[in-house]
Structure 1
Amino acid sequence: MFVTSGCLRSYHLDENGFQYIQQFAPEGWWIADMYSFITQNAGHLYIDAVFDSEIILISKVTLEKLYLEIPKLNYYFRILSENSLVTYQTRAMDNARLSAKDRYEKFCQRYPTLIDIIAQKQVASYIGVTPEFLSKMLKAESLSKS
């Protein structure tokens, strides 16, 4: 899916219904459950709109036809896939080794247009902390800057 306006998010749920947000996709970004798209099996991720959004959907069959008709599109999607793989690998390593504060700063770098418009609960889910912890961390940060 390509987001032409608005913002989407992808996430999975644990056995208690807790959401683990994997990605936000603001305007101009791509988002997909790649497992589902590539294998054509049921997906593992939920994707929904954070706010009103418009998207362009493309099926795997249509994309394969376009690859044959427009070879440069094949190259474009390969680069997108490679960049996505690097991003997910980096994020997995960051989640394992960085502090919550550093993960929050990475979130702000990756999604500068979303910092002030995404609910703190969703930001907390993305960086892997509780909303209460994020709130306390941000409050302590703002106090230390005063």
Structure 2
Amino acid sequence: MTLDPALILHHVAMHISLSSEERDFFISLLQYKSVNRRQFLLKEGEVCKHSSFVNQGLLRGYTIDTNGFEHVLNFAPPGWWIGDMASLITQKPGVLYVQALEDTKVIQLSKSNQEVLCTRVPKFERFFRILTENSLVSSYRRLTDTVSLTAEERYLNFCRKYPMLVQTLPQKQIASYLGITPEFLSKMKRSLLKKK
């Protein structure tokens, strides 16, 4: 299976410039995968062996607590990366489920191919450092928002972060991301509409 690498190449070009040879080498290391709606790309207890770039579709990353409740940590629409970063780095079993919310096509780069890539094309070290820094900042903001903002403020932040998903995601998924019930989310949205 092959996919058009235009989106991932555009994403890379936002951070580093590649020669045609470097670009071709990068493309040669990529793997392509289709994930059907509701299918898992990764499950808790598995070792994350790839970074996955969403070319088309939508994925969500979540955990399940001891009471069986799901906690959505992030969504990955086209142009976003997703994976269990701690598991990828340590190569130990992870805690994250990564599931397709719709039929999805991803471009994957294995950990071993990433290391080959960074050795052969050192500028990719900078690219992956930027990705890691962005992920760290996003996780930090999400943590501080969770403990310091109201549910309404978290919802408005969600709308800014994922504007393309606000109208398309099921309420249940948004509520899980915000750490509230779907009923409370509906009530809060009605209240926000009244304020406009």
Quickly name the TM-score band, shorter chain normalised: over 0.9
| Map 1:100-119 → 2, pairs under 5 A | 100-119=151-170
Where in structure 1 are there 5+ consecutive unaligned residues?
none
| Map 1:96-135 → 2, pairs under 5 A | 96-135=147-186
Alignment TM-score, normalising by the size of structure 1? 0.96
Q: Let me know the Cα RMSD of the aligned residues.
A: 0.9
For 1:62, the equivalent position in structure 2 comes to 113
Instruction: State the AA in 2 paired with 1:90.
Output: R
For 1:5, the equivalent position in structure 2 comes to 56
Distance in 1, matches of 2:58 and 2:118, equals 27
Measured after TM superposition, the shift of residue 139 of structure 1 is: 1.5
Distance in 1, matches of 2:142 and 2:78, equals 21
More helix by percentage: 1
Measured after TM superposition, the shift of residue 142 of structure 1 is: 1.7
Alignment TM-score, normalising by the size of structure 2? 0.72
Distance in 1, matches of 2:73 and 2:116, equals 29
Distance in 2, matches of 1:69 and 1:112, equals 37
SS across alignment from 2:57: strand
| Map 1:9-88 → 2, pairs under 5 A | 9-88=60-139
Where in structure 2 are there 5+ consecutive unaligned residues?
1-51
For 2:37, the equivalent position in structure 1 comes to none
Measured after TM superposition, the shift of residue 77 of structure 1 is: 0.7
Measured after TM superposition, the shift of residue 43 of structure 1 is: 0.7
| Alignment coverage as a number of residue pairs | 145
TM-superposition CA deviations, 1:45-89 (whole Å, max 9, x none): 100111111001121111100110111111101001001101100
Would you identify which runs of 4 or more consecutive aligned residues in structure 1 move more than 3 Å? none
Distance in 1, matches of 2:176 and 2:159, equals 14
Please identify the structure whose Cα radius of gyration is greater: 2
The percent of aligned pairs where both chains have the same amino acid is 49
Measured after TM superposition, the shift of residue 4 of structure 1 is: 0.2
